[in-house]
A and B are shown apart, each in its own frame.
Chain A
């Protein structure tokens, strides 16, 4: 169970005040933490618990479904003990920024650029925060829920008429 997970036990001991939620679903453990201590927690997991590979970093837009609009998601993997851990942290729409994880893993560089590009979340202390998939002069952030699927300048597709 999630309560006995080695990382959850340690995190509860060290960062009890920062943990919002611990969930286990289909054998995967997800820990939701507060944004203020995210870098501290990530580097603790990397250096003390051997979660040395940042597999993925992404965001989810919960427009109208949750109080805090965005959720940052970090997928960690431990090469020595071959297990995974997912860390999430909510990001408020009004304060749409979060400290960059590039100081913990260099791979976060492009992954954060992608989140910045497609979600418009700003990463503080990022070395090179530019758009990556869209062109530099693009307006809007395509993966936001309020961005239309067809693009901003076209009528929504309503299916073929014939």
Chain B
């Protein structure tokens, strides 16, 4: 009599569709998955530990490197947490530029998602197209911060510097053409029979399960839960902007795809509103205890130089207490929890990474399906290992 037994298959950490160094140990019955054991931590750099030894200004560059596909969203979350702790008011111009950049970052992150997700399921053209548009956003990054990925552009109390004059035109031109490009992607995917076969009914997770697993962001909205922190707990000035929050119905990969596409269109609208609100003015709060002095005064006066030196080397003491700031990052709720003991360094900095929490549901979403469908689930969860491992 023939007997069957399950097979253990190792997937990753070096694997094109695991989006980084994720290792999955799969238990297979034929081609059907019966158990998934994820192994993470290959990219662990101890950011939370390092932060306990750095001043509040010095931690900012570390946050770029968490979700490296959305650096400014990470910067924003951290900066807002520190500003909440220090009770610093940010000038309107800085707030507006932050929101423009946060939404461009959302577009950038979602472009990488659609590119890699489609490539994983066999649609290569979208990858080339989406990376073309991403390049424009990287150029905007380079224009304002000098770096394409590790932007380090925001500061506690505002921005490191004002944006150059060509910024408005460059962003405006991009937002004019972006919806047309989104139509192109939709033309390639939304009615594509192969895409539909691969995504409809794939990776189903009910609303109750999604909440139970702590899933946030587009993955939660794809399961029909109407939660968006930008609208429900506005931060950093989002209460002044009008936008729709898309919600899915069928809890599958296709609905999450549709949710993210609508989010990209809404992000374009928010950027447009931001450009309309952009008025000349200061970009750094008038709060010398906390903020860096303007560069002109550093270069031209001894007081400015001393001030800069003091803030750069010693930082600023924060009041004793603890704050949590959650922001709607492209991948879900990104939270920064700071415990201060009154010193110039945090007693504890906890980063709540959306990808880490979302990845936990991978077994629930792909148990009983084929290996090829697991690749689609990894794509739809939109994980970044830099953020998971920290």
Contact = CB atoms under 8 A, between A and B. Distances in A.
Partners in one complex: yes
Given A26-B87, A107-B213, A142-B49, A75 B337 contact: yes
B233 interface: yes
Contacts of A132: 40-41
Nearest to B339: A60
B389 interface: yes
B120 interface: no
Contacts of B211: 52-53, 79
Interface residues of B, number: 39
A93 to B, nearest CB: 16
User: Counting chain A CB atoms within 10 Å of each CB, which of B335, B339, B348 scores highest?
Assistant: B348
A60 B347 contact: yes
Contacts of B357: 107, 110-111
A76 to B, nearest CB: 11
Nearest to A104: B212
B272 interface: no
B324 A61 contact: no
A143 interface: yes
A30 B323 CA distance: 10
**Interface SS majority for chain B:** mixed
Interface residues of A, number: 37
Contacts of A149: 49-50, 53
Interface in B333-364: 333, 335, 337, 339, 341, 347-348, 350, 352, 356-357, 360
Interface string B123-142: 00000000000000000000
A109 B214 CA distance: 11
A111 B356 CA distance: 9
Contacts of B97: none
A105 B41 contact: no
Interface in A22-58: 25-26, 28, 30, 52-56, 58
Contacts of A58: 337, 350, 352
B262 interface: no
A73 B337 contact: yes
A114 B348 CA distance: 15
Contacts of B227: 79
Contact of B348 (A30, A55, A61, A142): A61
B41 A107 contact: no
A28 B50 contact: no
B40 A107 contact: no
Contacts of B333: 55
Nearest to B324: A75
Nearest to A136: B39
A77 to B, nearest CB: 8
A114 B213 CA distance: 15
B173 interface: no
9 contacts: A56-B335, A56-B350, A84-B326, A107-B214, A132-B41, A133-B41, A133-B44, A143-B49, A149-B53
Interface of A: 25-26, 28, 30, 52-56, 58, 60-62, 65, 73, 75, 77, 79, 82, 84, 86, 105-107, 109-111, 114, 118, 132-135, 142-143, 147, 149
Interface of B: 40-41, 44, 46, 48-50, 53, 84-85, 87, 211-214, 216, 225, 227, 232-233, 321-324, 326, 333, 335, 337, 339, 341, 347-348, 350, 352, 356-357, 360, 389-390
Given A86-B324, A149-B49, 7 more contacts: A26-B87, A55-B214, A77-B326, A118-B48, A133-B44, A134-B41, A142-B46
Nearest 9 pairs of A and B residues by beta carbon? A107-B214, A133-B41, A25-B321, A56-B352, A82-B232, A60-B348, A58-B350, A133-B44, A110-B360
